[in-house]
Structure 1
Amino acid sequence: MTIFRRSLLATGLALPGLATAQPLFNRPIRLLVPFAAGGAADSAARAIAPRMGELLGQSLVVENRTGASGSIGGGEVARSPADGHTLMLDASSHIVNPSLIRGLPFDYATAFAPISLVAQFPQALAVKPSFPAATLAEFIAQAKARPGAITLGTQGNATAGHMGVLRLMQQAGIEVVHVPYRGGSDAARDLASGALDGVFITVLSARPVVESGRGRFLGVANARRSALRPEVPTFAEAGLPGVELSEWVGLFAPAGTPAPQLQAIYAALTTTLQEAAVRERLLGLGAEPVGTTPDDFTAFVTRGREEMGNMVRAANVRLD
Structure 2
Amino acid sequence: MFDNAPAVSEATHPSRRTLLQFAGALGLGGALPAASLAQPAWPSKSIRFVVPFAPGGSSEIVARSTAAELSNTLGQSVFVDNKPGAAGNIAMSEVARSEDQHTIILGHIGTLAVNPYIFDKLPYDANKDFKPVSLLAKVPSLYVVHPDVPAKNLTEFIAYAKKNPGKLSYGSAGNGSAGHLAFEYLKITSGVFMLHVPYRGTGPMLTDLLSGRLEASAIGAAAIIPFIKAGKVRCIATGSAKRLPQLPDVPTVAEQGFPGFEMTQWYGMLAPANMPAAHIAKLSQETMKAAKTSAVIERLRGDAAESVGDKPEEFAKFIAIEQERWKKVIARANIKPD
Q: TM-score, normalization: structure 2?
A: 0.85
Counterpart CA distance in 2 for 1:188 and 1:136 is 20
How far is the alpha carbon of 1:77 from its aligned partner? 0.8
Counterpart CA distance in 2 for 1:101 and 1:291 is 29
What's 2:96 paired with? 78
What's 2:297 paired with? 279
Counterpart CA distance in 2 for 1:146 and 1:172 is 14
Counterpart CA distance in 1 for 2:241 and 2:336 is 28
What's 2:161 paired with? 143
Query: What residue ranges of structure 1 are gaps of 5+ in the alignment?
Result: 1-20
SS at match of 2:144: strand
What's 1:88 paired with? 105
Q: How many residues align?
A: 299
Contact 1:136-1:218 at 8 Å conserved across structures? yes
Counterpart CA distance in 1 for 2:265 and 2:209 is 20
Counterpart CA distance in 2 for 1:206 and 1:81 is 39
Query: What residue ranges of structure 2 are gaps of 5+ in the alignment?
Result: 1-38
Residue 300 of structure 2 is aligned to residue 270 of structure 1: no
How far is the alpha carbon of 1:82 from its aligned partner? 6.6
Among 268, 277, 287, the alignment partner of 1:250 is 268
Contact 2:221-2:303 at 8 Å conserved across structures? no
How far is the alpha carbon of 1:123 from its aligned partner? 0.5
Counterpart CA distance in 2 for 1:55 and 1:65 is 25
What's 1:193 paired with? 211
Counterpart CA distance in 2 for 1:105 and 1:160 is 21
Contact 1:125-1:218 at 8 Å conserved across structures? yes
Counterpart CA distance in 1 for 2:264 and 2:200 is 18
Counterpart CA distance in 2 for 1:286 and 1:229 is 10
Report which stretch shifted further, 131-140 or 269-278.
269-278
Q: Supply the AA of the counterpart residue of 2:267.
A: V
Q: Supply the AA of the counterpart residue of 1:265.
A: L
Residue 153 of structure 2 is aligned to residue 153 of structure 1: no
How far is the alpha carbon of 1:50 from its aligned partner? 1.6
How far is the alpha carbon of 1:195 from its aligned partner? 1.5
What's 1:120 paired with? 138
Contact 2:292-2:308 at 8 Å conserved across structures? no
Residue 323 of structure 2 is aligned to residue 305 of structure 1: yes
Counterpart CA distance in 2 for 1:77 and 1:27 is 17
What's 1:290 paired with? 308
Contact 2:133-2:269 at 8 Å conserved across structures? yes
What's 2:245 paired with? 227
How far is the alpha carbon of 1:202 from its aligned partner? 1.2
How far is the alpha carbon of 1:45 from its aligned partner? 0.7
Counterpart CA distance in 2 for 1:241 and 1:195 is 31
Measured on the aligned residues, the alpha-carbon RMSD in Å equals: 1.6
Counterpart CA distance in 2 for 1:314 and 1:239 is 22
How far is the alpha carbon of 1:302 from its aligned partner? 1.1
SS at match of 1:121: strand
Q: Which runs of 4+ in 1 moved over 6 A?
A: none
Contact 2:139-2:305 at 8 Å conserved across structures? yes
- Specify the structure having the higher radius of gyration (Cα): 2
What's 2:70 paired with? 52
1:230–1:188 Cα change, 3 Å? farther
SS at match of 1:31: strand
How far is the alpha carbon of 1:286 from its aligned partner? 3.0
